[in-house]
Protein backbone atom coordinates (compact mmCIF):
# COMPACT_ATOMS: atom_id res chain seq x y z
CA UNK A 1 0.00 0.00 0.00
CA UNK A 2 2.87 2.38 0.75
CA UNK A 3 3.94 2.31 -2.91
CA UNK A 4 0.45 3.53 -3.86
CA UNK A 5 0.81 6.45 -1.46
CA UNK A 6 4.04 7.53 -3.16
CA UNK A 7 2.11 7.86 -6.42
CA UNK A 8 -0.41 10.31 -5.00
CA UNK A 9 1.72 13.28 -6.07
CA UNK A 10 2.32 11.95 -9.58
CA UNK A 11 1.04 14.35 -12.25
CA UNK A 12 2.03 12.30 -15.29
CA UNK A 13 -0.52 12.63 -18.08
CA UNK A 14 -2.27 15.61 -16.46
CA UNK A 15 -2.56 18.83 -18.45
CA UNK A 16 -2.23 21.88 -16.20
CA UNK A 17 -2.48 25.54 -17.20
CA UNK A 18 -0.43 28.07 -15.23
CA UNK A 19 -1.31 31.73 -15.73
CA UNK A 20 1.37 34.26 -14.88
CA UNK A 21 3.72 31.43 -15.73
CA UNK A 22 6.85 33.50 -16.30
CA UNK A 23 6.51 35.65 -13.17
CA UNK A 24 8.58 35.68 -9.98
CA UNK A 25 6.82 32.59 -8.62
CA UNK A 26 5.41 31.29 -11.90
CA UNK A 27 8.65 29.88 -13.29
CA UNK A 28 9.23 27.76 -10.22
CA UNK A 29 5.64 26.57 -10.26
CA UNK A 30 5.96 25.49 -13.90
CA UNK A 31 9.23 23.65 -13.33
CA UNK A 32 7.80 21.98 -10.23
CA UNK A 33 4.71 20.72 -12.05
CA UNK A 34 6.77 19.48 -14.99
CA UNK A 35 9.18 17.67 -12.66
CA UNK A 36 6.23 15.66 -11.36
CA UNK A 37 5.23 14.74 -14.91
CA UNK A 38 2.58 17.31 -15.80
CA UNK A 39 2.02 18.61 -19.31
CA UNK A 40 2.31 22.30 -18.54
CA UNK A 41 0.68 25.11 -20.48
CA UNK A 42 2.63 28.27 -19.65
CA UNK A 43 0.28 31.24 -20.11
CA UNK A 44 1.52 34.78 -19.73
CA UNK A 45 1.02 38.20 -21.28
CA UNK A 46 4.70 37.90 -22.27
CA UNK A 47 4.15 35.31 -24.97
CA UNK A 48 7.74 35.01 -26.17
CA UNK A 49 8.95 34.28 -22.64
CA UNK A 50 6.14 31.75 -22.16
CA UNK A 51 7.23 29.89 -25.30
CA UNK A 52 10.87 29.93 -24.17
CA UNK A 53 9.96 28.58 -20.74
CA UNK A 54 7.85 25.82 -22.29
CA UNK A 55 10.87 24.77 -24.36
CA UNK A 56 12.96 24.68 -21.18
CA UNK A 57 10.37 22.51 -19.43
CA UNK A 58 10.30 20.02 -22.29
CA UNK A 59 14.10 19.85 -22.39
CA UNK A 60 14.70 19.71 -18.62
CA UNK A 61 11.88 17.37 -17.60
CA UNK A 62 11.05 15.32 -20.69
CA UNK A 63 7.40 16.41 -20.76
CA UNK A 64 5.24 18.07 -23.38
CA UNK A 65 4.76 21.77 -22.71
CA UNK A 66 3.09 24.65 -24.49
CA UNK A 67 3.77 28.37 -24.15
CA UNK A 68 0.94 30.76 -25.01
CA UNK A 69 0.43 34.51 -24.89
CA UNK A 70 -2.60 35.31 -22.76
CA UNK A 71 -4.06 38.46 -21.27
CA UNK A 72 -6.27 37.16 -18.47
CA UNK A 73 -8.31 40.38 -18.49
CA UNK A 74 -9.38 39.81 -22.11
CA UNK A 75 -12.17 37.32 -22.79
CA UNK A 76 -11.09 36.48 -26.33
CA UNK A 77 -7.54 35.85 -25.15
CA UNK A 78 -8.72 33.49 -22.39
CA UNK A 79 -11.04 31.65 -24.80
CA UNK A 80 -8.09 31.20 -27.17
CA UNK A 81 -5.97 29.84 -24.31
CA UNK A 82 -8.49 27.10 -23.63
CA UNK A 83 -9.08 26.33 -27.30
CA UNK A 84 -5.34 26.00 -28.05
CA UNK A 85 -4.81 23.85 -24.97
CA UNK A 86 -7.59 21.47 -26.01
CA UNK A 87 -6.28 21.37 -29.58
CA UNK A 88 -2.87 20.29 -28.29
CA UNK A 89 -3.73 18.06 -25.32
CA UNK A 90 -7.44 17.15 -25.77
CA UNK A 91 -8.30 17.91 -22.15
CA UNK A 92 -7.53 20.07 -19.14
CA UNK A 93 -6.99 18.49 -15.72
CA UNK A 94 -5.89 21.42 -13.65
CA UNK A 95 -5.42 25.16 -13.46
CA UNK A 96 -3.10 27.30 -11.43
CA UNK A 97 -4.86 30.67 -11.54
CA UNK A 98 -1.75 32.63 -10.70
CA UNK A 99 -1.58 35.80 -12.84
CA UNK A 100 -1.55 39.12 -10.99
CA UNK A 101 -0.56 42.70 -11.76
CA UNK A 102 1.51 45.11 -9.72
CA UNK A 103 1.18 47.87 -12.33
CA UNK A 104 3.68 49.48 -14.65
CA UNK A 105 3.23 52.73 -12.72
CA UNK A 106 4.75 51.89 -9.34
CA UNK A 107 4.23 55.40 -8.02
CA UNK A 108 0.48 55.08 -8.59
CA UNK A 109 0.46 51.49 -7.33
CA UNK A 110 2.13 52.38 -4.02
CA UNK A 111 0.17 55.62 -3.47
CA UNK A 112 -1.44 56.11 -0.02
CA UNK A 113 -5.12 55.28 0.46
CA UNK A 114 -6.20 58.93 0.52
CA UNK A 115 -4.61 59.60 -2.88
CA UNK A 116 -5.32 56.30 -4.58
CA UNK A 117 -6.50 56.66 -8.17
CA UNK A 118 -9.67 54.83 -9.14
CA UNK A 119 -8.19 54.28 -12.58
CA UNK A 120 -5.27 52.46 -10.95
CA UNK A 121 -7.70 50.52 -8.71
CA UNK A 122 -9.75 49.32 -11.69
CA UNK A 123 -6.64 48.46 -13.71
CA UNK A 124 -5.28 46.18 -10.98
CA UNK A 125 -8.68 44.66 -10.23
CA UNK A 126 -9.16 43.88 -13.95
CA UNK A 127 -6.29 41.41 -13.67
CA UNK A 128 -6.14 40.31 -10.03
CA UNK A 129 -9.83 39.58 -9.56
CA UNK A 130 -11.79 40.09 -12.78
CA UNK A 131 -9.17 38.23 -14.80
CA UNK A 132 -8.91 35.49 -12.21
CA UNK A 133 -12.68 34.95 -12.39
CA UNK A 134 -12.62 34.98 -16.19
CA UNK A 135 -9.94 32.28 -16.31
CA UNK A 136 -11.64 30.22 -13.60
CA UNK A 137 -15.05 30.25 -15.26
CA UNK A 138 -13.65 29.45 -18.71
CA UNK A 139 -11.28 26.67 -17.67
CA UNK A 140 -13.68 25.35 -15.02
CA UNK A 141 -16.45 25.28 -17.61
CA UNK A 142 -14.26 23.20 -19.91
CA UNK A 143 -13.41 20.72 -17.14
CA UNK A 144 -17.10 20.48 -16.24
CA UNK A 145 -17.97 19.77 -19.88
CA UNK A 146 -15.36 17.02 -20.01
CA UNK A 147 -16.92 15.33 -16.97
CA UNK A 148 -13.47 14.29 -15.78
CA UNK A 149 -13.15 16.33 -12.60
CA UNK A 150 -10.07 18.36 -11.85
CA UNK A 151 -8.33 20.78 -9.54
CA UNK A 152 -8.08 24.57 -9.59
CA UNK A 153 -5.62 26.44 -7.38
CA UNK A 154 -5.87 30.22 -7.08
CA UNK A 155 -3.01 32.33 -5.75
CA UNK A 156 -4.00 34.76 -3.02
CA UNK A 157 -1.59 36.45 -0.59
CA UNK A 158 -0.96 36.77 3.10
CA UNK A 159 -2.43 40.27 2.70
CA UNK A 160 -5.65 38.73 1.45
CA UNK A 161 -6.28 37.24 4.90
CA UNK A 162 -4.61 39.68 7.33
CA UNK A 163 -3.97 43.40 7.45
CA UNK A 164 -0.51 44.73 6.71
CA UNK A 165 1.76 46.13 9.42
CA UNK A 166 2.73 49.62 8.26
CA UNK A 167 5.74 49.62 10.59
CA UNK A 168 7.68 47.13 8.47
CA UNK A 169 7.51 49.50 5.48
CA UNK A 170 9.31 52.43 7.14
CA UNK A 171 12.51 52.81 5.12
CA UNK A 172 11.65 49.75 3.04
CA UNK A 173 12.35 49.61 -0.67
CA UNK A 174 11.70 47.27 -3.57
CA UNK A 175 13.99 47.54 -6.59
CA UNK A 176 15.16 50.91 -5.20
CA UNK A 177 11.67 52.38 -4.67
CA UNK A 178 9.84 53.14 -1.42
CA UNK A 179 7.11 50.52 -1.01
CA UNK A 180 3.93 49.82 0.89
CA UNK A 181 1.09 47.33 0.66
CA UNK A 182 -1.55 49.00 -1.56
CA UNK A 183 -5.25 48.76 -0.63
CA UNK A 184 -6.13 47.35 -4.06
CA UNK A 185 -3.71 44.46 -3.59
CA UNK A 186 -5.25 43.40 -0.27
CA UNK A 187 -8.80 43.80 -1.57
CA UNK A 188 -8.11 41.82 -4.74
CA UNK A 189 -6.37 39.00 -2.89
CA UNK A 190 -9.14 38.80 -0.28
CA UNK A 191 -11.54 38.49 -3.20
CA UNK A 192 -9.58 35.49 -4.45
CA UNK A 193 -10.26 33.64 -1.19
CA UNK A 194 -13.98 34.42 -1.31
CA UNK A 195 -14.27 33.40 -4.94
CA UNK A 196 -12.39 30.18 -4.23
CA UNK A 197 -14.88 29.15 -1.55
CA UNK A 198 -17.80 29.98 -3.82
CA UNK A 199 -16.45 27.96 -6.74
CA UNK A 200 -15.55 25.02 -4.48
CA UNK A 201 -19.17 24.68 -3.43
CA UNK A 202 -20.52 25.49 -6.90
CA UNK A 203 -18.46 22.83 -8.69
CA UNK A 204 -18.23 20.28 -5.89
CA UNK A 205 -20.80 17.98 -7.50
CA UNK A 206 -18.69 18.00 -10.68
CA UNK A 207 -15.63 16.67 -8.81
CA UNK A 208 -13.83 19.97 -9.46
CA UNK A 209 -11.82 21.00 -6.41
CA UNK A 210 -10.95 24.67 -5.88
CA UNK A 211 -8.45 25.88 -3.29
CA UNK A 212 -6.42 28.99 -2.50
CA UNK A 213 -2.65 29.04 -2.12
CA UNK A 214 -1.57 31.88 0.16
CA UNK A 215 2.14 32.77 0.04
CA UNK A 216 3.69 34.80 2.81
CA UNK A 217 6.39 37.33 2.00
CA UNK A 218 8.79 36.01 -0.63
CA UNK A 219 12.31 37.39 -0.95
CA UNK A 220 12.47 39.03 -4.37
CA UNK A 221 14.46 42.25 -4.43
CA UNK A 222 13.41 44.00 -1.21
CA UNK A 223 16.10 45.94 0.67
CA UNK A 224 17.65 44.70 3.93
CA UNK A 225 15.46 46.98 6.05
CA UNK A 226 12.29 45.38 4.76
CA UNK A 227 13.67 41.84 4.98
CA UNK A 228 14.79 42.35 8.58
CA UNK A 229 11.51 43.92 9.72
CA UNK A 230 9.34 41.39 7.93
CA UNK A 231 11.41 38.47 9.21
CA UNK A 232 11.00 39.74 12.78
CA UNK A 233 7.25 39.11 12.39
CA UNK A 234 7.76 35.49 11.32
CA UNK A 235 8.27 32.59 13.78
CA UNK A 236 10.74 30.94 11.38
CA UNK A 237 12.68 34.22 11.38
CA UNK A 238 12.99 34.80 7.65
CA UNK A 239 11.16 35.52 4.42
CA UNK A 240 10.23 32.68 2.09
CA UNK A 241 12.28 31.51 -0.85
CA UNK A 242 10.20 31.33 -4.02
CA UNK A 243 10.67 27.56 -4.40
CA UNK A 244 9.08 26.97 -0.98
CA UNK A 245 5.63 27.53 -2.49
CA UNK A 246 6.00 24.74 -5.05
CA UNK A 247 5.35 21.79 -2.74
CA UNK A 248 2.01 23.22 -1.64
CA UNK A 249 0.96 23.64 -5.27
CA UNK A 250 1.92 20.06 -6.16
CA UNK A 251 -0.14 18.84 -3.23
CA UNK A 252 -3.24 20.84 -4.20
CA UNK A 253 -3.13 19.87 -7.89
CA UNK A 254 -2.42 16.19 -7.27
CA UNK A 255 -4.49 13.29 -5.99
CA UNK A 256 -2.77 13.71 -2.62
CA UNK A 257 -5.41 16.35 -1.88
CA UNK A 258 -8.36 14.48 -3.41
CA UNK A 259 -10.66 15.31 -0.45
CA UNK A 260 -9.52 18.92 -0.04
CA UNK A 261 -11.62 21.74 -1.50
CA UNK A 262 -12.62 25.25 -0.53
CA UNK A 263 -9.53 25.59 1.63
CA UNK A 264 -6.90 28.27 2.12
CA UNK A 265 -3.40 26.77 2.36
CA UNK A 266 -1.17 29.36 4.00
CA UNK A 267 2.59 29.08 3.46
CA UNK A 268 3.87 31.94 5.61
CA UNK A 269 6.53 30.64 8.00
CA UNK A 270 4.03 30.94 10.83
CA UNK A 271 3.31 34.68 10.51
CA UNK A 272 -0.43 34.24 11.01
CA UNK A 273 0.12 32.01 14.05
CA UNK A 274 1.12 35.09 16.06
* 174 in catalytic set: yes
Report how far residue 175's alpha carbon sits from residue 220's, in angstroms, rounded to the nearest whole number.
9
CA dihedral 229, 98, 257, 205 (to 10 degrees): 130
- What's the first-to-final CA gap in the chain, in angstroms? 39
Largest Cα span, the chain: 60
Report how far residue 153's alpha carbon sits from residue 35's, in angstroms, rounded to the nearest whole number.
18
Q: Which of 116, 159, 169, 174 is catalytic?
A: 174
Instruction: Tell me the CA distances in angstroms from 26 to 104, 113, 205, 233, 256, one per residue in order.
Output: 18, 29, 30, 26, 21
Report how far residue 199's alpha carbon sits from residue 150's, in angstroms, rounded to the nearest whole number.
13
Active site amino acids: 174
Amino acid sequence: MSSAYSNLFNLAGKTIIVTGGVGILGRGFCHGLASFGAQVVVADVRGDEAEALAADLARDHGVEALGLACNVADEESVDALVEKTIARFDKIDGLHNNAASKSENLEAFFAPVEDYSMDEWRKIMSVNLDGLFLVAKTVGGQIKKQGTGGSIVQTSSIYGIVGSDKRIYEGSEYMGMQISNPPVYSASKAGVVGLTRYLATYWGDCAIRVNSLVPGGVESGQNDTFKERYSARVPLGRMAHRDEMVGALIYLLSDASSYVTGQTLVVDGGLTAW
